[in-house]
A and B are shown apart, each in its own frame.
Chain A
Amino acid sequence: MDDQVVAVIENKPLGSSYGLLSLDAARQAQAARPGQFAMVRILGTGGVLLRRPMSIYDVKPDAAPHSGPRLIQLLYKVVGRGTRLMAGLKPGDPVALLAPLGHGFFVEDYLEQAEQADEVLHVAGGIGIAALLMAARELAEKGFKQRLFFGGRSRGDLVGAVDFRPYLRQIVVVTEDGSCGCRGYVTGPLEDHLARYPDRRFLLLACGPWAMLQATAELAGRYGHRLLVSMENRMGCGLGVCLGCCIRVEGEGHGAYQRVCTEGPVFWADKVVWERGTLPIT
């Protein structure tokens, strides 16, 4: 993990409210593992105080044919002041980047679980997709069969799906308004799939809004499959010191509350206590 001032290489708008930001951050790109995230601070503007957490969507080599990754890419959705400033970044602008952070998908017996599974199912809600691309690539390189269930409010919210194509056998698209794929929630076709193959063993990886993760956890539990969830919460520091990002998780740790930034963001879903009465983050 490193704290660096890095330059924007490219900031590509994707429709009206999404974008892909490429940052020149070789050292951090080389250290990044699937499921890890970055804390981003936009410098030189008085707009926001705290850094914003963003999944490391991808790492890319630069044009030169040598060496390893050089760019860190962040896929973002404009939801408020910080992400609006992010959308305004131009090539050459400086950004303070603290990365890579957190335990990614490669926690404990994750690969073992994948090996025992017939298929890995990715479940993404909206911008949650950003946490899954590097995992999909890594698993594809290891020869795992994979499928993606991708839900969004509308057609325009299904950004990034094309990037997954090389690694998956199928992408199932769902929108709440029916503008693309079938209409409804992502958990609908996911449940159909689980019900259709009662004898198969799946490993599920999911990222998205809390309600979607909770519903996915309920399905995974009911059908007896293991599920890794990448959790979101407001973050003050990303360093494990403010304790602002804690969620309730069974077992040891900082009491019963664990830090999404440090013990997470990826947790086994059956360990997460989906507290009733918890306020939505947004």
Chain B
Amino acid sequence: MPTVRDQKAKVVSDEPAARDNSQPAGDFEPSIEVEIAGVRFQNPVLTASGTFGYGQEFAHLIDLNRLGGICVKGISAAPMPGNPPPRIYETDSGMLNAIGLQNVGAKRFLEEKLPFLRTLRARTVVNVFGYTTEDYVRCIEILNDGDGIDAYELNISCPNTRCGGMVYGNDPKLTEEVVAASKRAARLPLWVKLSPNVTDITVLARAAENAGADALSLVNTFVGMAIDVETRTPRISNVTAGLSGPAIKPIALRMVYQTARAVRIPIIGLGGIATTEDALEFLIAGARAVQVGTANFYAPDTSIKIVEGIRTYCRRKRLHVDDLVGSLQVPTPNVEKATEY
């Protein structure tokens, strides 16, 4: 009887098995640690907000201690009920979501979720959102009392709620305002997660940097939609929804590349990462760390396989992760030839 189960089970990500190194690695052991705003991560792979719950949900599926960090589901000062169903819909190589930022609120997060996260070697990054600048500040003030949080990640880019983050993330002035106020309130490093739904992401990136952001995460989801042509109704109750998954990767990568050249603060890259190669592309484009999002849903072991994949790559290339960051080689065009035309 054929039993695939007998071959190493638990292996379900899209990640191909680690390739044999063509050259012997010798005694070179790369460092895959990274530092972001004074916080050291044991490796550059984190899980993205909203795709990994509060970590505990995955505890019996993967070894959480092997992750660089966990960005928890977006937290607000007060609990949020979320949107009516349907909230998600699968599209080609991606998915749409309009969850509506349902969450238990900052107080219950501290009481119920943080004690578990504190026990892990993976760093805890708390994703924060609000509908007014005061909301953001109030949420951070509550979280400041928590023990075991390593950084805040400000979600100014949630495309799901009409009066929500959209406004902040799309306007440099509003971005500066909320980042500056949050920075004043925060006792911990402040990452700002940018919206990709803008014409020039570097404008918003610079606005966040000028207002005191310690690091930038990009990108959040792209606003999209889908229609059921039989009923002529939207597939998602909110009508528009955020697109994530492999479909967005090339655009996210381009935005990380552009932003890395426009700011001095570290960048955490994400958007459609599902394999080691995806993650390496983001690092080479200029991200100091990466986050895995949608892939957690269908292949929970993706992140730890990427950690091992990055280690193997670095050994083979005899590079530390820090050497890899922003190491993109762009050949200069042959000018003489070009001018012939």
Contacts and interface: CB of A to CB of B under 8 A. Distances in A.
A68 interface: no
Contacts of B65: none
B88 A242 contact: yes
A239 B57 contact: yes
Given A241-B53, A281-B85, A282-B228, 15 more contacts: A3-B301, A5-B12, A49-B94, A49-B95, A50-B297, A233-B86, A234-B85, A235-B88, A236-B297, A240-B57, A242-B50, A243-B99, A245-B85, A246-B85, A278-B85
B95 A236 contact: yes
A236 B57 CA distance: 14
Contacts of B61: 3, 239
Interface stretch (A89-97, A162-170, A212-220): A89-97
Contacts of B90: 48-50, 234
Contacts of A277: 84
Interface stretch (A112-120, A121-129, A149-157, A250-258): A250-258
Q: Is the interface of A mostly helix, strand, loop or mixed?
A: loop
CB-based closest 3 A-B pairs: A241-B53, A244-B88, A92-B2
Contacts of B84: 248, 275, 277-278
Interface stretch (B74-82, B131-139, B142-150, B185-193): B74-82
A245 B1 CA distance: 36
Contact of B97 (A3, A43, A244, A281): A244
A98 to B, nearest CB: 8
Q: Number of contact residues on B: which range applies?
A: 35 or more
Contacts of A79: none
Interface residues of A, number: 46
Contact of B89 (A5, A234, A237): A234
B337 interface: no
A171 to B, nearest CB: 32
A41 interface: yes
Contacts of A245: 85, 87-88
A84 interface: no
Contacts of B104: 254-255
Nearest to B13: A96
Best-buried of A1, A51, A255, A281 by chain B (most CB within 10 Å): A255
B53 A239 contact: yes
A5 B93 contact: no
A242 B298 contact: no
Interface string A4-15: 111101000000
Nearest to A7: B4
Nearest to B105: A255
Nearest to B79: A255
